[in-house]
Amino acid sequence: MKLYENARSGNCYKVKLLLSQLGKPFEVVHVELEGDRPAPVAEGNPIGRVPTLVLDDGTHLGESNAILLYLARGSAFLPDDPIEQARVHQWMFFEQNLHEPNIAVVRRWVHIDHNADQQGDVFAVKKAGGEAALATMDRHLQRHAFFAGERYTVADISLYGYTHVAHEGGFDLGAYSAVKEWLARVKEQPGHVPM
Amino acid sequence: MKLYENARSGNCYKVKLLLSQLGKPFEVVHVELEGDRPAPVAEGNPIGRVPTLVLDDGTHLGESNAILLYLARGSAFLPDDPIEQARVHQWMFFEQNLHEPNIAVVRRWVHIDHNADQQGDVFAVKKAGGEAALATMDRHLQRHAFFAGERYTVADISLYGYTHVAHEGGFDLGAYSAVKEWLARVKEQPGHVPM
């Protein structure tokens, strides 16, 4: 398999983390965050962004969480039980709807593009959205060790991607002690690799 | 089953559309868009928003797309093939990441809350994001009748929810003829119900 990716993207890291924990070999192709996309990303993936995974038969898959769910089929990282699987999905849609658009985007402006001061009103709205997402996670993690099925799944991998680098966007995790304890638990999982 | 929902929410409509097409009976409990959430939404669903589906055994499920995937298991609306299922997921994550946060939010400000002029810089950014999402959909639909597996699936239901009311947010679909033709195809599916 070939993974078109950028090393500073939490969305790409999620896929590399799962591939490592599954012990599946893969080749990495670096893609710049800005500029021309290589054909497998621009043409092979209708949404046109990284990560894009190209399977050995040439099939292209896009969207980090869809790739995680595909790779995790039949493994311990995705429960078979319909309700537990629905809870995995629930937290992964939360991640793409309320977490990533706020925390990943603020981190990018602050840490990578250094243009937070050019975002006008949007910056404060996204910063507040990120805080709200962290508070939702913390509330859940005060009563649960992981997000779904009381064990480490792709829902945790999905949310770990940008939460563990949220401080790079100026998010202070000090107020979210359950999130901090969960980050430590995720880091201890067998086969964990750093970003 | 009990569906906690609001009739003006496209996210809630998605679930009602699939339940109707599956022929599954359900009871609707109205929830205001603002204000106190009833306990099944505020406490039973960790993310705390509508739609929240309460199964007959008391299990609570949140996040519209997670509910769609749960209800569609084993039906014609969710392909069994791993690659086709990954494509369904891919478009549903696209919907929650690049489509709903822009098109649904702009529609709410323009059509429901009438406060678009109070959103500062955020309005233009979300309007442009919505146009980009429609352009991505149109590019795909120029070559495909539906989003995944060349047939009507929960990916279409997910994207139909807010696309078919995008004009209420001021989005002009005139430039997206493949999207307009797809909207008509979705409306013709057996068991279709209007919002």
Looking at the fold, whether B102 and B156 belong to one and the same domain comes out as yes
Residues 6+ apart with CB under 8 A from A38: A4, A29, A31
Looking at the fold, whether A94 and A132 belong to one and the same domain comes out as yes
Q: What percent of chain A has pLDDT over 90?
A: 98
The answer to whether residue B77 sits within a structural domain is no
Contact list, A90 vs chain B (CB under 8 Å):
47, 61-63, 66
How many Cβ pairs within 8 Å bridge chains A and B?
Answer: 99
**Pair of tokens at residue B91:** 């478009």
Contact list, A122 vs chain B (CB under 8 Å):
121-122, 125
Give the pLDDT band (50/70/90) at residue A149: confident
Looking at the fold, whether B8 and B28 belong to one and the same domain comes out as yes
Structural domain for A10, as ranges: 2-72
pLDDT of residue B190: 97
Q: What is the CATH number of the domain that holds A179?
A: 1.20.1050.10
What is the tens place of the pLDDT at every residue in B81-127? 999 999 999 999 999 999 999 999 999 999 999 999 999 999 999 99
Looking at the fold, whether B99 and B149 belong to one and the same domain comes out as yes
The answer to whether residue A100 sits within a structural domain is yes
Domain count across chain A: 2
Interface confidence, given as ipTM, is 0.98
Looking at the fold, whether A64 and A97 belong to one and the same domain comes out as no
Among candidates A46, A63, A97 on the partner chain, residue whose Cβ is nearest the Cβ of B100: A97
The answer to whether residue A77 sits within a structural domain is no
Looking at the fold, whether A129 and A90 belong to one and the same domain comes out as yes
Among candidates A63, A86, A136 on the partner chain, residue whose Cβ is nearest the Cβ of B90: A63
Kindly state the DSSP code that residue B168 receives in the 8-state scheme: G
Looking at the fold, whether A147 and A106 belong to one and the same domain comes out as yes
What is the tens place of the pLDDT at every residue in B127-169? 999 999 999 999 999 999 999 989 999 999 999 999 999 999 9
Stretch A16-36: mean pLDDT: 96
- Average pLDDT score over chain B: 97
Looking at the fold, whether B92 and B157 belong to one and the same domain comes out as yes
What is the tens place of the pLDDT at every residue in A116-133? 999 999 999 999 999 999
Looking at the fold, whether B88 and B183 belong to one and the same domain comes out as yes
- Residue that finishes a domain, picked among B72, B107, B132: B72
- Residue that finishes a domain, picked among B41, B72, B103: B72
pLDDT of residue B191: 97
Looking at the fold, whether A43 and A112 belong to one and the same domain comes out as no
pTM of the model: 0.98
pLDDT of residue B114: 97
What distance in Å separates the CA atoms of residue A35 and residue A143, rounded to the nearest whole number?
Answer: 44
pLDDT of residue A82: 97
What distance in Å separates the CA atoms of residue A19 and residue A23, rounded to the nearest whole number?
Answer: 6
